[in-house]
Amino acid sequence: MCDGTARRVRLRPRLRGVAEGLPRLRLREFFCRRAVLFMGQRSGRQERSKKPEMSLSENLTAEEEDNKEENKELKTKDQRLPLVFGVADLKNGAVGLYNMGHTCCLNSLLQVFLMNIHFTGILRRITVPPNASLKRRNVPYQMLLLLEKMQSGKQKAVFPTDLARCLSVHRMDLFMQHDAAQLYLTLWNLVKMQIKDQDLVTKLSDLYTICVQEHLACQICSSETKRNSNMLTLPLPVLDSNSHKLKTLEDCLQCFFRPEELTGHNMCFCEYCEKKTPFLQSMKLVHLPQTLTIHLKRFCFERSASVHKLSHCLPFPEELDFNAVLTEQQSQAHDNEKAAWQYELFAVVTHSGSANFGHYCAYIRSLTECKWYCFNDSTVDQVSWDDVKCTYGHSDLYWGQTAYLLIYMKKHPQ
């Protein structure tokens, strides 16, 4: 059975490779920051070193002075936030993010979020936390500060240090390999959980949430149950029920929405028949959001419980019309809803390597310039659609880039 979750393997960060290219004056600060992040025990900056003979009142005074300075600095940043227009490539060209030790997955997903002007439009309207401690723990606020940092200078890349500290407070392990689909869900849930304005929470859900209707029909008495479910991604299989490789993204969609018979050990208990009976399980599409995320389940569990990566070629279109892919029986939506089911590709998060280790990067189409960029940590290059198509995958290119997450944007939103 296929599963979209790759095993996370703890790897020792290669500090020497990460530190290359840093200015010498900042090298000591870099390693100090890494030590704080790795411990995962402090949510803010490092504590000042204090002499043993300092009295308690002197300690409190020093701490108060620190808080005043930090609040003053944060207040200055808050005053600049209205100048953030909401897309990382608007002012000084696309800006990269330095890898701080196995943070390529985080960097790629942050670029996907921050290059989405619909997402940053919501981010700009959040309520600023009232004090320094809450600001350090608030993920949407730290994402907004990172966006401001990316736009305010002329540097080609910046360190997402403060945001990484913030995520470590929320028990997100750093300096280890993450699965992009899992981390995508974690980041989105943290942002949604920490936005206090319910109107903005609704807008965020409407922007990303997919709604499907699950059907279970007893094959003996024909009784049927229906249930609506919301999901952040469409987890599409890349193999069919007979473990044959699917050839296109449209084939994957058809396989996901194709009814499946539950027999043998998979039979369900029927309340009307009062016993386990064969069931027909099907999924029908109800609603698609403005930003649609598709998760290609490239990581597959074998009978030996080991995980391997499916790297075979799977083309995906630059434009996608769900009305042309799904049948009438595979959707449960009104005509007005279906009229807006035309999409164009916005971003591709790719993975290189095996199921146990590898590297992530993101190909993103700028919504302001309509140009494709490859975000590979601190390196950002303009690319063509032909370059993006090289991420389709290839069975013989074991270490080649393979598309893992596809993010589509509605062409004509309602």
Looking at 153-259, list the stretches that DSSP marks H as alpha helix, in order from N- to C-terminal side.
Answer: 161-169, 180-194, 198-208, 249-257
Put residue 375 in one of left, alpha, beta given phi > 0 → left and psi -120 to 50 → alpha. Answer: beta
Active site residue 104: yes
Q: Which residue, chain included where needed, has tokens 């095993």?
A: 7
Structure tokens at 227: 């249930």
H helix or E strand, kind and range, residue 70: helix 56-80
Terminal alpha carbon distance of the chain: 38
Gap between the Cα atoms of 56 and 60, Å rounded: 6
Q: Which residue, chain included where needed, has tokens 């070193």?
A: 49
Which of helix, strand or coil describes residue 251? helix
Choosing from 218, 351, 359, 374, the catalytic residue is 359
Gap between the Cα atoms of 348 and 17, Å rounded: 26
Which of 208, 203, 206 shows the shortest CA–CA distance to 122? 203
Which of helix, strand or coil describes residue 27? helix
Strands (E), 81-128: 96-97
- Torsion angle, CA of 150/154/159/161, rounded to 10 degrees? -60
Active site residue 300: no
What residues form DSSP beta bridges with 321? 342
Write down how long the chain is.
414
Q: Are 288 and 322 in contact (CB under 8 A)?
A: yes
Q: Are 211 and 230 in contact (CB under 8 A)?
A: yes
H helix or E strand, kind and range, residue 39: helix 24-39
Determine how many CB atoms are found less than 10 A away from the CB of residue 16. Answer: 7
Which of helix, strand or coil describes residue 130? coil
What residues form DSSP beta bridges with 280? 217, 261
Q: Are 36 and 11 in contact (CB under 8 A)?
A: no
- Torsion angle, CA of 361/363/369/371, rounded to 10 degrees? 130
Q: So which residues are the catalytic ones? A: 104, 359
